[in-house]
Amino acid sequence: MAWRSSGASNRDLIENLWRNKLITHPQVKEAFLKVDRGHYAPSFAYDDSPQPIGHAATISAPHMHASAVEHLLPFLTPSETHPRRRVLDIGSGSGYLTHVMAELVGPEGTVVGIEHIAPLRDLGERNMGKSAEGRAFLESGRAKFRVGDGRKGGVEEGEEAEKWDAIHVGAAAAEVHDALLQQLKAPGRMFIPVDDEVEGWSQHIWCVDKDEKGEVTKRKLFGVRYVPLTDAPKA
């Protein structure tokens, strides 16, 4: 089904994802329509497939980004009780999903993309700056990019350890890291690919929920293949 979602333009791609029910929420569709994947994928921008972006990293297939946003949506959009959403995008890569989620968090929200490779951090920020909307998000602080070890979360040294409503992890983790669970709000949700225990040859997406009392539940969603969440390469 996913390969049928490719299109000749950004609108074609998103309309195909909608028609194939890979996007089901109107808010999600609108957010993706506002962000041109052509600013983020160096080739075949409107194919529903992953594309290399350098440094052994990829921009995920659009249907995977759509799935992430659909699952995280209740914790991305502002409400009367939660007007100021904070979202962490680990392994932000091209910056595409960071931008899409910034469209959803509202004017009081913040999305922080974190990368362990400085040139990829720079790439995400540069790509977002290709559109007027993206530049406005960067200038206002609605979207930010940082260099850091995503396995430790997104709190910088000396910064108040304010927690995250939603955490998206865009690379396969060896486990659901304790630091990420600790930084997840109650309630909050994490979307994370995790290596299976059987020799590490397969991975699954896990949806990790923390309820108001801090109780954590995990749901295995579907099999995937992501690049690993690792240390930055040595110079």
User: Digits of tens for pLDDT over the chain (235 positions)?
Assistant: 555 799 999 999 999 999 999 999 999 999 999 999 999 999 999 999 999 999 888 999 999 999 999 999 999 999 998 999 999 999 999 999 999 999 999 999 999 999 999 999 999 999 999 999 999 999 999 999 999 888 888 766 555 567 999 999 986 666 777 888 899 999 999 998 887 765 555 888 889 999 999 999 998 887 666 655 565 555 5
Q: What is the pLDDT of residue 187?
A: 95
What is the residue extent of each domain of the chain?
Answer: 61-150+161-224
Q: What is the pLDDT of residue 194?
A: 80
Inter-residue contact 87 to 109 (CB < 8 Å):
yes
Q: How would DSSP label each residue in 145-191? A: EEES-GGG-SPPTTS----EEEEEE-SBBSS--HHHHHHEEEEEEEE
**Beta-carbon count within 10 A of 120 CB:** 23
Residues annotated as catalytic (active site), given as ranges: 60
Calpha distance 197→218 (Å, rounded): 16
Residue 104 structure tokens: 């959803």
Tell me, what amino acid is at 37? R
Q: What is the pLDDT of residue 177?
A: 78
The architecture in CATH of the region 61-150+161-224 reads 3-Layer(aba) Sandwich (3.40)
